[in-house]
């Protein structure tokens, strides 16, 4: 078997492992292509710029991008421990992604699950998982914006997928019109306006209580659902969630 044949075989095996372990979507991007994405500011929580694969692994070669369907609103549950939120739905996805990590390590490759500060949504588009939508989320033709991403960075030489080039939004402005605080512009979200980005600053402000009750309802003293207004307005993926 030549080098290309081995890479094709390993790529197929990795994808099979990902899908059999619970991912609905899987694509590959080279580390070189990921590192060519210009760095940009991440305003959410950590306030930092995106990083390069070499910040995590010097000899990185490939990134396996995994998409997991969010089929129920409870995946968007946040549980507060003091000022720090925990996301049970996301933890389950990371555990499934570790199956791919274990598979690659079992073959002697180095691998890291979800290097957080890589440009994950941009990588997902380049790996063929979907379009970068006007709501700043990845929109898949089948699952819509209702997928969440995990990645596995590895030194394994895998065959990359073609990027997703189709524009799924077109003239649609449904997500922008649905935002309760007008935080969206096409393909951009203002973290300083979005209720998710500034929840701590507005949670006790009386003028925001109607918006929070409608879009970020508390379930218990320490738990709440994150705002999904822009996702629920998107026409893609509704059938997969049993919506009309």
For residue 83, is pLDDT > 80?
no
Other Cβ atoms closer than 10 A to 73: 16
Look up the pTM and report it. Answer: 0.95
Task: Tell me how long the chain is.
Answer: 244
For residue 177, is pLDDT > 90?
yes
Q: In sequence order, what are the beta bridge partners of 62?
A: 30, 154
Cα angle 94-97-102, degrees, rounded to a multiple of 5: 120
For residue 244, is pLDDT > 70?
no
Q: Which two tokens stand for residue 183?
A: 């935080």
Q: Residue 34, class by beta-carbon neighbours within 10 Å (0-12 exposed, 13-18 middle, 19+ buried)?
A: buried
The span from the CA of 194 to the CA of 204, in Å, is: 16
Mean pLDDT score across all residues of the chain: 94
Q: Residue 4, class by beta-carbon neighbours within 10 Å (0-12 exposed, 13-18 middle, 19+ buried)?
A: exposed
Cα angle 203-204-205, degrees, rounded to a multiple of 5: 95
| Residue ranges of domains in the chain | 3-154, 174-241
Q: What is the pLDDT of residues 109-133, one digit of tens each?
A: 999 999 989 999 999 999 999 999 9
Q: What is the pLDDT of residue 227?
A: 96
pLDDT band for position 1 (cuts 50, 70, 90)? confident
**CA torsion, ordered 45, 51, 53, 54, to nearest 10 deg:** -130
- Strand 131-132 relative to strand 138-139, pairing: antiparallel
Contact between 53 and 61 (Cβ < 8 Å): no
* Higher per-residue pLDDT: 108 or 89: 108
Give the number of C-alpha atoms closer than 13 A to the C-alpha of residue 38, restricted to the C-beta side.
2
Report the candidate in 136, 118, 113, 151 with the shortest Cα–Cα distance to residue 49: 118
């Amino acid at each position: 078997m030549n080098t290309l044949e081995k890479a094709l075989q390993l790529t197929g095996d990795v994808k099979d492992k990902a899908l059999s372990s619970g991912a609905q979507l899987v694509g590959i991007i080279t580390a070189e292509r990921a590192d060519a994405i210009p760095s940009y500011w991440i305003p959410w929580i950590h306030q930092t710029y995106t990083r390069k694969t070499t910040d995590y692994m010097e000899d990185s070669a490939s990134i396996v991008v995994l998409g997991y369907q969010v089929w129920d609103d409870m995946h968007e549950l946040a549980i507060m421990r003091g000022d720090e939120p925990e996301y049970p739905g996301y933890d389950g996805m990371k555990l499934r992604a570790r199956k791919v990590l274990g598979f690659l390590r079992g073959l002697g490759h180095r691998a890291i699950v979800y290097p957080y500060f890589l440009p994950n949504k941009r990588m997902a588009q380049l790996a063929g998982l979907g379009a970068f939508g006007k709501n700043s989320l990845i929109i898949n033709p089948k699952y819509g914006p209702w997928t969440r991403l995990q990645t596995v960075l590895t030194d394994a030489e895998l065959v990359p997928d073609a990027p997703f080039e189709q524009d799924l939004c077109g003239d649609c402005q449904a997500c922008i019109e649905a935002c309760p605080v007008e935080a969206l512009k096409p393909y951009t979200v203002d973290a300083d306006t979005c209720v998710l980005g500034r929840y701590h600053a507005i949670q006790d402000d009386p003028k925001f209580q109607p918006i929070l009750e409608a879009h970020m309802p508390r379930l218990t003293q320490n738990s709440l659902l994150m705002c999904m207004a822009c996702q629920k307005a998107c026409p893609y993926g509704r059938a997969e969630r049993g919506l009309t």
